[in-house]
């Protein structure tokens, strides 16, 4: 995968994807695999914003039974299985446990019934999977087994519901694998390229975008018959230039990576307000999520705010009374700006992803994705590419992204012997943060220390010809990523 900007400007593409998060990358991969000519531009690094923030789980949607939404549950189960098929190296089964209580929906009888319905809806959950990725059926376990799994985190005398989903062992590499797959099928991708403004014909049709190479400031046009706006929290910036009526609120979602040793299973509990929080093992540590900001946030408010973190930490300790987590035990705040809704209950995460064909509003050649969930991003991308094929007047082509193995994601694959060189030469890493945080994973769970950061910076200096001033700037940028201020 090479960063080749002249190729972006040299031709007209069938599809231009604006945004290199999980939704944009899968859509680019799917479209290229189905034979379309595809370009993709991303204003930062691939998967560096909201897609980096997710809770590192691929789940089957058990909670949708609370609202009777079996259709969404079935979709989640299918997509959970798809991830295990196409990326077995990057996902692994994980036990989830929720204590029962005396409430109408959380008593042992109700939870047993819910698990039975989940098993019925997920009758094919293990179809085509290897033995290491097959998920056992859920069940009710006694209080003694609950405490064996979670020790003091488990209530003293409560039985619990136990079920299985997947955790993403290397979420950064999983997201990048879709970029590599898109490039392998001929898509032309470039990170650190910002879509500045649309290029439109006189007929009010988008025919591409004016783009800017952020490292150099050079501008050029990328031409395409259809533009897909998959810019995540910046999608509204794109929509502000078109006839899409209305806007939607956005909030900041947060997950806390801590230095606490990981529990043996994930623990699910409800906050006082009724939201579910999950405490789970990840890379040997305890990860907790998801917190939500109390007010709206703009796309640029990506920093880890101390007051927000402390407020979420208070909620976490209230929800898990024996945890007693201290602020200095938080090693990284995963955070991202996500779509929300504002209703009688206040501000909360948007429940559904949406695909918008702007032809309905008088603007041809533009489609937008409003994505909300990592687990179902592949299915949303599939439906989006179906729409793009129709808009291009192409015959339907079957989607194969649910069954095609991703690059480097086979169970027996291994990391390259020289991860830094691989990142620079084959994975479009341009900054020290790209390498330390997302390519090698050295800093995925927290600041890896001055020695490791300096060693990576030295390697990049040699490979890219950085000056001493540039090295210092890159090291400072990495440190700022971990700051909670």
> Does 180 share its domain with 219?
yes
Q: Percent of the chain beyond pLDDT 70?
A: 99
> Does 67 share its domain with 195?
yes
> Does 228 share its domain with 258?
no
> Which of 55-69, 193-207, 212-226, 394-408 has the lowest average pLDDT?
55-69
Q: How much is the pLDDT for 327?
A: 96
At 96-140, the pLDDT tens digits run 999 998 777 788 898 999 899 989 989 999 999 999 999 999 999
What range defines the domain where residue 25 resides? 1-86+169-248+350-414
At 365-411, the pLDDT tens digits run 999 999 999 999 999 999 999 999 999 999 999 999 999 999 999 99
Among 414, 432, 455, residue at a domain's last position: 414
Q: How much is the pLDDT for 343?
A: 80
> Does 226 share its domain with 261?
no
Q: How much is the pLDDT for 342?
A: 85
Among 341, 359, 380, residue at a domain's last position: 341
Q: How much is the pLDDT for 157?
A: 80
Q: How much is the pLDDT for 204?
A: 80
> Does 23 share its domain with 76?
yes
pTM, entire model: 0.96
Question: Could you tell me which residue, 201 or 427, shows the higher pLDDT?
Answer: 427
> Does 101 share its domain with 77?
no
What is the pLDDT confidence band of residue 244, given thresholds at 50, 70 and 90?
low
> Which of 47-56, 337-346, 410-419 has the lowest average pLDDT?
337-346
> Does 196 share its domain with 54?
yes
> What is the number of structural domains in the chain?
4
Among 168, 199, 230, residue at a domain's last position: 168
> Does 99 share its domain with 80?
no
> Does 325 share its domain with 382?
no
> Does 244 share its domain with 358?
yes
Q: What is the CATH number of the domain that holds 187?
A: 3.50.50.60
> Does 181 share its domain with 65?
yes
Spell out the SS3 assignment of the chain. CCCCHHHHHCCEEEEEEECCCHHHHHHHHHHHHCCCCEEEEECCCCCCCHHHHCCCEECCCHHHHHHCCHHHHHHHHHHHHHHHHHCCCCEEEEEEEEECCCCCCCCHHHHHHHHHHHHHHCCCCCCCCCHHHCCCCCEEECHHHHHHHHHHHCCCCCCEEEEEEEEECCHHHHHHHHHHHHHHCCCEEEECEEEEEEEECCCCEEEEEEEEECCCCCEEEEEEEEEEECCHHHHHHHHCCCCCCCCCCEEEEEEEEEEEECCCCEEEEECCCCCEEEEEEECCEEEEEEEECCCCCCCCCCCECHHHHHHHHHHHHHHCCCCCCCHHHEEEEEEEEEEEEEECCEEEECCCCEEEEHHHHCCECEEEEECCCCCCHHHHHHHHHHHHHHHCCCCCCCCCCCCCCCCCCCCCCCCCCCHHHHHHHHCCCCCHHHHHHHHCCCCCCCCCCHHHHHHHHHHHHHHHCCCHHHHHHHHHHHHHHHCEC
> Does 136 share its domain with 2?
no
Q: How much is the pLDDT for 246?
A: 63
> Which of 10-14, 51-55, 218-222, 281-285 has the lowest average pLDDT?
51-55
């Amino acid at each position: 995968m090479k960063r080749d900007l002249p190729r972006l400007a040299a031709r007209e593409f069938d599809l231009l994807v604006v945004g290199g998060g999980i939704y944009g990358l899968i859509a680019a991969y799917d479209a290229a695999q189905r034979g379309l000519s595809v370009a993709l531009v991303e204003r930062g690094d691939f998967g560096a914003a909201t897609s980096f923030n997710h809770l590192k789980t691929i789940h089957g949607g058990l909670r949708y039974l609370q609202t009777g939404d079996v259709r969404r549950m079935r979709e989640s189960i299918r997509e959970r299985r798809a991830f295990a098929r196409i990326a077995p190296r990057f996902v692994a089964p994980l036990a989830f446990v929720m204590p029962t209580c005396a409430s109408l929906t959380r008593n042992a009888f109700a939870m047993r019934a819910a698990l039975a319905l989940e098993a019925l809806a997920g009758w094919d959950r293990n179809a085509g999977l290897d033995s290491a990725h097959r998920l056992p059926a859920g069940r009710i376990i006694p209080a003694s087994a609950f405490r064996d799994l979670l020790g003091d985190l488990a209530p003293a005398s409560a039985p619990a519901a136990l079920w299985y989903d997947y955790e993403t062992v290397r979420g950064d590499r999983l997201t990048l694998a879709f970029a590599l797959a898109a490039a392998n099928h001929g898509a032309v991708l470039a990170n650190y390229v910002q879509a500045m403004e649309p290029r439109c014909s006189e007929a009010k049709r988008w025919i591409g975008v004016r783009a800017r190479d952020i490292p150099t400031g050079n501008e050029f046009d990328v031409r395409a018959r259809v533009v897909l706006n998959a810019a995540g929290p910046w999608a509204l910036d794109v929509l502000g230039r078109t006839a899409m009526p209305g806007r939607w609120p956005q909030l900041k979602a947060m997950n806390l990576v801590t230095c606490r040793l990981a529990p043996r299973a994930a623990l699910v509990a409800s906050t006082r307000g009724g939201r579910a929080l999950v405490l789970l093992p990840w890379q040997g540590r305890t990860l907790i999520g998801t917190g939500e900001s109390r007010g709206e946030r703009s796309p640029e408010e990506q920093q880890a705010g101390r007051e927000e973190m402390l407020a979420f930490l208070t909620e976490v300790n209230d929800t898990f009374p024996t945890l007693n987590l201290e602020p200095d035990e938080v090693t990284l705040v995963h955070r991202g700006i996500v779509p929300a809704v504002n209703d009688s209950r206040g501000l909360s995460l948007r429940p559904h992803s949406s695909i918008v064909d702007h032809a309905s509003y008088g603007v041809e050649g533009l489609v937008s994705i409003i994505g909300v969930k990592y687990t179902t991003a592949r299915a949303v991308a599939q439906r989006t590419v179906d729409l793009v094929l129709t808009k291009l007047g192409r015959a339907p082509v079957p989607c194969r992204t649910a069954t095609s193995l991703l690059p480097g994601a086979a169970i027996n694959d291994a990391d390259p012997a020289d991860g830094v060189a691989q990142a620079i030469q084959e994975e479009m890493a341009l900054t020290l943060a790209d390498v330390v945080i997302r390519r090698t994973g050295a800093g995925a769970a927290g600041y890896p220390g001055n020695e490791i950061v300096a060693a990576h910076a030295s390697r990049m200096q040699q490979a890219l010809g950085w000056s001493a001033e540039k090295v210092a700037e890159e090291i400072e940028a990495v440190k700022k990523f971990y700051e909670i201020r």
